[in-house]
Structure formats: C-alpha cells, structure tokens
Chains A and B, each alone.
Chain A
Amino acid sequence: MKAEDFITQIKNGKIDVVEHTKKVIEECKKINKEYNYFNVICEKEAIEQAKKVKKDPSGKLAGLPVSVKDCICVKGVDSTAGSRILKGYKPTFDATVIERVKKEGGIIIGKTSQDEFGFGGFSVNVGIDYKIPLNPFDKKRACGGSSGGSGGITQKVDFPHVSLGESTGGSIVNPASFCGVIGLCPTYGRVSRHGLLDYGNSLDKIGPMAKNIEDVALVMEVIAGKDENESTCLDEPVDDYSKQANIDISGMKIGIIKEGFRKGTDKEIEKKIKEKTKELEKAGAEVDEISLKTSIDYGLPTYYMIGTSEASTNLARYCGMRYGKHEKLEGSFNDYFKKVRSRNLGKEVKRRIMLGTFARMAGYRDAYYLKAAKIRTKIIEEYKKAFKKYDILICPTVPILPPNFDDIKKLSVVQNYMIDVLTVGPNLAGLPHMNVPIGFEKDGAGVELPVGMMLIADHLDENSLIRLGSALLK
C-alpha cells in the first residue's frame, strides 16, 4: 500500500493508528532479532505519538511509520550514530527533520543501524557492541552502507514505511541499491542538517528511502526547506515532488556516464542498466553517452581527504566529558580523553580520524586538504557543464552486486573505499541523486540480487529524479 492511501485510511478511521503502530513495533522487533536493522526501537515514544495522531489525524504523514538512521537526533531516544562512545546519549532536542515529520503526524519507530559515524559502504564497520545488519535477500550478505539498517528495514517490511537515511559519500543510494529500494539523496542544503551527528558537514545530506517513489516524494515535501537553525540550509521554495510521478518523460535528455562501466563493474549490472536504458529511449527519452573523467578518477581521493578532514574535527568533541560513554577519572585531561577515545571508538573511526588529522596538519594541508578543495571545484564544474546538455545523468549505483561478508573481509582498505567510486561524485558536488531498483540478477553463486541504477540531476532539480524514477519503476 502506498503511504498516501494508508494515510487516507488513518484519517477516515478505517485503520486504528494506535493498533497499527503496536503491530508495526512487534513486527520490527521480530525482524530485528534476525536482521539487526535497529539500534533502538522506540516503542513507548511511537505509541505516545500514535495516540496524539489518533486525536488529531490532520497531518500530512498521519500515522506513517518512519525509521531513522541512528545519526539523526530524536529527543529522548538514544542517538549514537552507531558508536559506543555515545552510548546512552539522549538528545535534548529533535533534529529539524524529526520535528517536521512528527508535526505532520509521522511516527518515529526506531533508530536504524549503520557504519559507526557513517564510515563505511557495507555497514560492517559498526561500533563496538553493535550488530551488523544483514541483507534482506541473503543474510550472508551486506546491506550496503552506511545507512544499511534503513535500507534493510525498508525492503523487509510490508506495512507502509519510510526511512530517513543520511549520505556523505553515497550512504543513501548504496544501501538502497543493495537492498533493492528507492533512496533519494537531495541537493546539499535542501534538507536541514540541524540535529544530524556530523560526519563531513560540507557533504552530509538527509534523505528518504522507501519502496514507492510517491512515498519518497511525499516525505521530501515535509522535510525539505529553510531552517533558521542551520546556516547551510537553502532558502528556496519546496516543489510539489509528488506531482512529478507518472509524468511523460519524452524529450528528457539523459547522459549515460561512460566511466560507470569500466573494468570492475559487474557484467550483470551493465547488462541490466543497458536494457533499462533502451526502455527509456522507447518511452521517448534522448539517451547519449558522456564522460566524467575528473569526477570518477579524482572523486574518491578528494572525497576521502575532505570527508576525513571534517570528520576528524567533528569527532573531537567525543571525549567522555558531558555525554556518552564515561571512563574512570584518572590522570590529566589528556590521559582521560585518550582513554575514552581509545576504548570506545572503532577501528575504522580511528583510521579516519588519523587520516583527516594528517590531511589538515601544517605542512600537509596544502598538499591534501586544500588541494582536495580545489579538485572538488573542478568536479562541480564538470557536472555543471554536463547539465547544460542533459537533464539527468545515469550509471550503476554500485559497480557490484551485494557481496557476502567473507568477501568483504578479504578487501584491502582501498578496495573497501572503492565501493563509493560512482557515488562520491554527486556527493562532492552536492547534486541530488537517487537509487532506483531496476530488477534482479544472479551472481556467481546463483543468488538473485537487486540491481540499482543511479540518477543524478542538477542542483535543486529533485523533480527530474522523481519523474524519471517513476518512469523506470513502471
């Protein structure tokens, strides 16, 4: 059932929102035992909200269950970004997106599992004591990341549901692809980051993940728009995204990114993308090939320099002083901070803090941090030039089918980072992009797994994403 139809039934009383919410929570608990999609299921708060909605079901999202990536602050609910260092941290305020969802009658059901602080592409880099979410199609495989729990739960449940994910370098579209759902990462600044536990502030974006594109559009309308509490949030009117679904796509100009099909991209994925592209042509779209060499060749190192530089400053505040995990007070403040951080941050977090700290040190910052900022400008220019000619750029979201955990373990650090090769470009450029599940392919082991296509649009043109996405899903 589409969210819209469900909400109508809540409003006219055909569905009892409290009973429904209780069922949803039970279902989530059951799934979670098997798949680890939630770090917290907030039963009490969800039922309280359901009772409020029952009294006043006028909101645009009345009764809709919404799960939230753990790095987004929900007042009074553990918000840890999947890290032990924040164990027990209950924010005193709601993130702006949460405030807006709640105001429209949406029901926050829980905090979804993720790579610790968003540092990963498979959701295997979870914090100490946290559990790895398992792929809904094959429990031996990864959900993708870093919004892995959001991707998994979105695929697994049958009730109407939207998840709020967060992307820094591809963390919405990647797990959406691996889990076979839609994931929309909006233009940088389209959705407020107020209340988001930062990874890379110049890259972070919150966006919806769902099974229906109309649901994605609906939630976008609620969460997007100006926020006085967040300086980078854009003061631009919010479009009626819902109206874009089911519009004719004839005349749309689509560029296929050539570098998306290099060595390293699975043949099955290439085949599926090409098939779908032909269908788009049949529907009247003009399809053409485009090269984005700067973005694909330099995107990864640029992203890792900027992302880790920012992250290493953001994570400095976690030192066991006022919130989160504490340790026994001993020695100087330096000894104490070191102890808290050494014991409670995971291995990948430490790696990225060290990388980022190095990249911004005097003597190195010119060669790394500042140079990366310059290349980022070049990448933006490359995309801007492309959008003079095209409405949408397409390529595979990830070059491979969801891998199994044993294979991931064998990857080197750099191979691990390679999973982001196609997604970091639009993330660096702050461009809206979306994963659309376009079908299934068998991998070498004969398991049917979802394939995702990534659509990239120009700044603030989420409309084109919805429009083409809905055509692809028909």
Chain B
Amino acid sequence: MTKKFTTDIVIGLEIHAELATDTKLFCGCKTYGDDNPNSRTCEVCLGMPGSKPVLNKKAVDYALRLCLALGCKISPELIFSRKSYFYPDMAKNYQISQYEIPLGIKGKLKLHTGKTVGITRVHMEEDPAALIHPSGMTKSKYVLVDYNRSGDPLAEIVTEPDLESPEEARLFMKQLITILNYLGIFDVNRCIIKADANISIKETNYTRVEIKNITGFKEIERALKYEVERQKQEVKSVVQETRAWDSDVGITRSMRKKEVEEEYGYIIDPDLVKTEVTKGMIEEIKKDMPELAQQKVKKYIKEFNISEEDARVIAAERLLAEMFEKVAEEVDPNLAAKWLRRELVRVLNYNKKEMKDLALDEKYIIELLKMVEDNEITDNVAQKILEKLIEKPFSPRDYVRKIGAKKIADEKQIRRFCEEAIKENPQAVEDYKAGEKKSLQFLIGQVMRKTKGQADPAVVNKIMKELIE
C-alpha cells in the first residue's frame, strides 16, 4: 500500500458517468430513444468483423469540460487503448478505454464540508452491452444481450482514497452529479451513474475490498454503511476481494477473491488515431464553461448576502440558480432566496415536478415577489398564486387585480372581521381567557378564512389580542 492510512474508514471511488451525447462514442447510433432490445445498433457497436470505430468529437468535448471542472491536468493527446477480457456483454471481447495516458489527471473536488478529495484520473471509455437475466440473476437458465447500450460514452472518474465515511462518499457523489449537471454533459433522466467503491477499515489493517455496481448517490451510502458493519463484525475473515452490491436485498456478496491484479493486456487501439488536445481547444471549451455551483455559492454569499445554506441549496440545481440570479436582481435577494428555496421547491416537490418541467418565466416570479415585497399581498395569497403559476404561466399582478386579492391592512375593516369571528366562536374566546393560548390562532385563522387570506396577519393578530384581552 502506497499511502499510510490513519482514519477509521478509507474509501476510494471509481465512478462511471454516462455522457449525454446524442450518439454513441464510436458510431452514429443514438444513445437514447427506441428501447426495443438491439434496435439502436450497427456493425460498430455490435463489434461485427471489419467494422471500424470513428471517435465522437462531442464526447471528447464533454469529457474535457469535466476535466476542467475538476481542475485536472489535461493530456496533450487523446489516446485510446484496448482493455481485453472475455465476457458476454463485450461486443469485441475488448473495451475501448484509456490506459497509460488518461485525458485528465491530478484533479480535485472540494466538498461543502471544506474537505478536498483528490481526483486521480478522468478517462473516457465505451459502455458494454446490457445482460438481461429473464428470471433474475440467480435463477435464469440463460442470459439475453441487449446492445442498445453498447458503445455509449462513459467518463470514468477515479478518486484518491480520501473519503472517510459512507456519508462523505454520498456527499461526493452528490456534488459530482451537480457538477455534471451544471456542465450540461449529464442528463439525470436518461444517463446512468454507477460507482465501484474500494473500502477498508482500521480493524482489518486496511484490507481492501472492492464493491461493484452501485447506482446513484443514495445507494453509495447504503452499500458502504452495510459493508463497514460487515467488516467490523467479520474482522478476522475479511479478505482482499471483489464484492457485488445487491440493492434489492441490501447486502454485498462475494464475487471473486483477488490475490493478483486483473490482467487486461492493454495495447494502444490501432484503429483510432491520436487526437491532439490543443490549447486552442481547451480555451474554446473554457469560454463555453458555465459557472459551477461552488463558485455560485461564494458569489451568492458575497454579492447577495444570503445565508450559506440558502446559497448552497439554490446553487445545487442549475436551473433554480439561474432563476434566482435573475430574480435577485429585481427583488430583495433574501426574499428571493426564501421564496425560491422554500416555497418554489416545496410546490414543485408536492406536484412531483422538476425545474426543467416548468414553462415558468422568471418575470412572473419577479412580479409576484415584488407584490410581496411591497406589502401588496400576503404570503398566504402569494403561495396560492405560486401554486397556480407552476401549472401555467400568467401575470400575478393582473390576477390579483382581477380577483381583488390585495392585502387588507385597513384596521377598521379588519376590526369588523375580528368582531364577527369573536361573536361566532364564543367557546374559543372562553378557552383563550381560561389560558388556552392556541385559541388565539384559531380565531386569527377564522379571520384569514373570511378574507380569503388577504388580511395582513400582523394587523389581525394585533387587533384580535386587543379585543379579547
């Protein structure tokens, strides 16, 4: 072992993220669309004799963006290698990957906690086909192969063994996904992100166990938590091996004991020419690179003076961040942060919608929040308008005017509603006087109901107290 470990748990990740190009890495087949088995295939991704790979330049562009975002040192040449091993999901029984010279090395990712995780390498490779077990992994008598996925472009991200807990591994994955999203090179709805994790604990003198095939950031934490517990309980019998994560059952299973490193017999792929990665190419991509979440968090705190927590939640979602930036230009950034982070996200979650599903123009959000800011409508009314706004866009100002939902702050008017409420609910008044403080909220609620939420809650509160005390 090259590094001297001291922490209780040592974790390193190898993450495979599918890049969101339209076509595959070495042929013109679509990476999405028709999901009928083997419908998106050709001679190249089927590995038919005589076919030759031609590199998808877009995928290189995407991988370069990732390297830059992770602060990697970028190789001046893009070289592909053949990684040879026999397996039924391999169209050619070798995978076109990168070996000696990966596209990026020596990068880093800074976690929200302030910790920096080293990135050993970022490289490109093609996805193998999918193996389908018709009646489950263990029971199927045969396996079907679907080559639709064969040849999809993947970026492999390898971290240093810097992670110290399953929670930290999850955070890393989550932040990485945010970056991929920001870069516009990953589509959460169709791209798969998978991880293999190396994990060892102090008690076993850091005997390394590899866990294969973990999908998504929640699963990473689950799988690693399970594995830490297993290793602690079986300290004496832990051996260097490869295990598979079975997410259905929630356990890891031994796949193979690994005394020696696997033998892949790498050679340079002679069917592909070396592609120069020029300074010009990198500059072009840099110009095109969006500001990343971490830069945004810093900017929001500094320029908009909002809380770090608000800043982080907003920045984590690119579309939300973009909307926030526009809205914060027009209304108080703290008000904007509160409404976007809490209310908009709540309404979206409730409706099981995502930012990208919204046909919402930020000008309406600005209109709405301006009315809140200027005390023209109550929060209550604004929430209701927001709920309607995510259904279909309309002008909140016109709406308020039309239905007369302006805030009622006139004390005389409010006093009348309060007196009505007291008259109709004598029991509540009695209870309040007997010390039941909750009853005040009930009475205020009655007034809000009568005014369709338009009464200024602060004024109602003040007058109601005067009247019953």
Where the two chains meet, the residues of A that have a C-beta atom closer than 8 Å to any C-beta of B are: 72-73, 79, 81, 86, 89, 91-93, 95, 193-198, 200-202, 228-232, 309-310, 312-313, 316-319, 321-323, 333-334, 337, 357, 360-362, 365, 369, 373
A228 CA to B53 CA, complexed, in Å = 10
B49 and A316 contacting across the interface, CB-CB below 8 Å: no
Any chain A CB within 8 A of the CB of B207?
A: no
A200 and B267 contacting across the interface, CB-CB below 8 Å: no
A318 CA to B86 CA, complexed, in Å = 11
B52 nearest CB across to chain A (Å): 5
Which residue on chain B has the smallest CB distance to residue A324? B49
A231 and B86 contacting across the interface, CB-CB below 8 Å: no
B265 and A360 contacting across the interface, CB-CB below 8 Å: yes
Any chain A CB within 8 A of the CB of B461?
A: no
Within 8 A of A (CB), among B254-283: 261, 263-273
A334 CA to B92 CA, complexed, in Å = 15
A391 nearest CB across to chain B (Å): 28
Interface size on B, residues (CB 8 A): 32
A333 CA to B90 CA, complexed, in Å = 12
A321 and B92 contacting across the interface, CB-CB below 8 Å: no
A-B pairs with beta carbons under 8 Å apart, 13 shown: A73-B50, A91-B48, A92-B48, A197-B50, A198-B49, A198-B271, A309-B267, A317-B92, A317-B93, A323-B48, A323-B49, A333-B86, A333-B87
Which residue on chain B has the smallest CB distance to residue A227? B52
A316 and B54 contacting across the interface, CB-CB below 8 Å: no
B50 and A194 contacting across the interface, CB-CB below 8 Å: yes
B300 nearest CB across to chain A (Å): 45
Any chain A CB within 8 A of the CB of B411?
A: no
Any chain A CB within 8 A of the CB of B226?
A: no
Residues of B within 8 A of A313 (CB): 82, 84, 94, 265, 267
Majority SS of interface residues in chain B?
A: loop
B271 and A232 contacting across the interface, CB-CB below 8 Å: yes
Any chain A CB within 8 A of the CB of B290?
A: no
A317 nearest CB across to chain B (Å): 5
B270 and A310 contacting across the interface, CB-CB below 8 Å: yes
Residues of B within 8 A of A196 (CB): 50
Answer whether A231 and B267 are a contact pair too, CB < 8 Å, given A79-B50, A313-B84, A337-B86. Answer: no
Any chain A CB within 8 A of the CB of B88?
A: yes
B273 and A91 contacting across the interface, CB-CB below 8 Å: no
B273 nearest CB across to chain A (Å): 5
Any chain A CB within 8 A of the CB of B185?
A: no
Residues of B within 8 A of A230 (CB): 52, 54
Residues of A within 8 A of B424 (CB): none
B88 and A193 contacting across the interface, CB-CB below 8 Å: no
Where the two chains meet, the residues of B that have a C-beta atom closer than 8 Å to any C-beta of A are: 43, 46-55, 82, 84, 86-88, 91-94, 261, 263-273
A194 and B92 contacting across the interface, CB-CB below 8 Å: no
Which residue on chain B has the smallest CB distance to residue A318? B49
A321 CA to B144 CA, complexed, in Å = 11
Answer whether A194 and B88 are a contact pair too, CB < 8 Å, given A200-B270, A360-B267. Answer: no
Residues of A within 8 A of B48 (CB): 91-92, 323
B91 and A362 contacting across the interface, CB-CB below 8 Å: no
Which residue on chain A has the smallest CB distance to residue B44? A229
Which residue on chain A has the smallest CB distance to residue B53? A231
A316 and B92 contacting across the interface, CB-CB below 8 Å: yes
A231 and B52 contacting across the interface, CB-CB below 8 Å: yes
Which of A201, A312, A361, A362 meets B270, CB within 8 Å? Answer: A201
B45 nearest CB across to chain A (Å): 12
A361 and B263 contacting across the interface, CB-CB below 8 Å: yes
A365 CA to B54 CA, complexed, in Å = 26
A231 and B43 contacting across the interface, CB-CB below 8 Å: no
Which residue on chain B has the smallest CB distance to residue A317? B92
A83 CA to B51 CA, complexed, in Å = 18
A177 nearest CB across to chain B (Å): 27
Residues of B within 8 A of A91 (CB): 48-50
Answer whether A195 and B50 are a contact pair too, CB < 8 Å, given A317-B93, A333-B88. Answer: yes
Which residue on chain B has the smallest CB distance to residue A230? B52
A73 CA to B49 CA, complexed, in Å = 8
Which of B49, B54, B86, B267 meets A369, CB within 8 Å? Answer: B267
Answer whether A362 and B46 are a contact pair too, CB < 8 Å, given A193-B52, A228-B54. Answer: no
Q: 18 more A-B contacts (CB under 8 A) besides A194-B52, A232-B270?
A: A81-B49, A89-B49, A91-B48, A91-B50, A93-B43, A194-B51, A202-B270, A230-B52, A232-B273, A312-B84, A312-B265, A313-B94, A313-B267, A317-B91, A319-B93, A337-B86, A360-B266, A365-B266
Which residue on chain B has the smallest CB distance to residue A195? B50
B125 nearest CB across to chain A (Å): 15
What 7 A-B pairs come out closest when comparing CB atoms? A316-B93, A202-B270, A201-B270, A73-B50, A360-B265, A195-B50, A317-B92
Residue in B43, B49, B82, B267 with the greatest tally of chain A CB atoms within 10 Å: B49
Residues of B within 8 A of A316 (CB): 84, 86, 92-94
Residues of B within 8 A of A365 (CB): 265-267
A421 nearest CB across to chain B (Å): 23
A183 CA to B398 CA, complexed, in Å = 84
Residues of B within 8 A of A202 (CB): 270
B265 and A231 contacting across the interface, CB-CB below 8 Å: no
